[in-house]
Chain A
Amino acid sequence: MTYLTKPKLHHPELPANALGFTRRDYEGTISTLCAGCGHDSISAAIIQACWELAIEPHRVAKLSGIGCSSKTPTYFLDKSHGFNSVHGRMPSVLTGANLANRDLIYLGVSGDGDSASIGLGQFAHSMRRGVNMTYIVENNGVYGLTKGQFSATADRGSKSKRGALNTEEGIDLAILALQLGATYVARSFSGDKAQLVPLIKGALTHPGAAFLDVISPCVAFNNHEGSTRSYDYVRNHNEAVNRLDVITVRKEITAEYPPGSVQEVRQHDGSMLHLRKLAEDYDASSRIAAMSHVQSRYAHGEIVTGLLYVEADADDLHANLGTTAVPLNGLGEKELCPGQAALDRLNASLR
């Protein structure tokens, strides 16, 4: 087996989006992950989000590191260029790609081993640089491909499948992202598609560093009793702070909300984020409040999900660098090479 394509036949009445594409046009090859893997639900959510936003698939660049999660970009958007790079280094490759062409949509997919251990440094620096991207960590608290070792996001005190107790503190990547200046930070659960799809849509339309920590249970190595990343555990301890609706400029606003229950965020591109509050008084526009809420609920054993923080006036790395609006990979000799005349002046200044 090299790889499996999916048959392209589909039901004639499958709905089409504004571009005339059906969901099938956003799919990739058949997943080779374990049956029931949370990551496959995330891939499905990415497909759904891109379809709903009517993104042209080829205008997305999907990048990943190494691990189960990093394999998933082959399972969606097969009209997009993909890059399965090296372990823990997706952020730098994505940053470089983004510098080369600011016009594409950058989707980075990583795992907890990839981002919280070997790649913690690159994760951190891509956040503080404000790279315009959607960075999804498919977080299962375990190394799947190497068969069940704890990862750095595993909670202290959780049990491995073999019964070993994790004695090291778990890293909360969402908290780190908040501290490091990411301008869109969310947490979700692969088992809650209704919550996850809008969060991905919001991240894809966000004009800065968007980070999503998605708890994604590993059915093979981390779905047992004593694990804090099992389907059962996450369902029982999930505390959503809000529900998101992403309203692109093209769409008329039809949803109606009871007054005072919605927080509205207008992004640079004109798209609107409507946050239906679930936790009273939760303010997604406050970085400090977000960190405080997430950590205090964690102390009570709860996993806070939803859009934790969003900055409406987010900037990105290109804005900081003052880069031209034209993609750098589209510039030629005319813009780039100063020619002999400039060299003559330089030569003269060096005598």
Chain B
Amino acid sequence: MMLDRIMERHRETLILLRRNRKIKAGASILAVILAIAVIGPYTTEYGPLEYTGAIGEPPSSRHPLGTNTFGYDLYSQVVYGLRSSILIGLLGGILATAIGVLIGFISGYFGGIIDELLMMLTNIFLVIPTLALLIIIAAYIEHRGILIESVIIGLTSWPWTARAVRANTLSLRNREFVYLARMSGMPTRSIILREIAPNMLSYIIMVFILQFGGAILYAVSLDFIGLGPTKGISLGVILQQAVLWNAVQLGMWWWAIPPGLLIALLLTSLYVINTGLDEVLNPRLRRQG
């Protein structure tokens, strides 16, 4: 029912969302990539780490993206790798967004000493060189899976979200309708849940999309320097191995280009969607439109 009301109020926004070219383009690319990640693994007879017998072969009908030096089928590596990269992005993104929203909201709504302590914590996390921290943590954990990697990413990339959400909460909290709710004797709990939170929904969605893309990029960076999952495959791991075994120098472009292209397309589509959402949801930009 709540959703219905939001829909009613946002009917015009929904029309604009559907009309926005950036959102259309970004969402189409994203949909195709997601479809590959979901369906892809069912369309290949090889496992991603299964020896096929063919070594370093260029793309052919048997191996649409060729094979690498170890005889692994690259098409299968890419579709499985894409799946885990997206999984890491989702898990890491959700975790970072959740922590950031929670800390930012508490900080902004309650203010005072709670705010100062939480913001101090946030600032500490913000200035720690995240990649260096990730390297250290990743190096200490011997058996790293996708889950651990996304948790590490989630736990380190929330600070800017916390700051942004805090600012957003602060401005909402001091809006007149919140004052009036207080003067109407509404309990704090319903002020937060019914008056403030629903107004932050679109903002949180945009933050999540950015975190999603950020987590994928972080994971690729970790994989690329050899700190990715110890077992299994991801787009970053494919790239790392391609570089390690001189794929480009050996003319094996099919080893490096497809995973690289997919990462670039994935991140671009997310960025474009976000820009489109900003145009539609941010009233200041919309007015200029």
Partners in one complex: no
Chain A contact residues, CB within 8 Å of chain B: none
Which residues of B line the A interface, CB within 8 A?
A: none
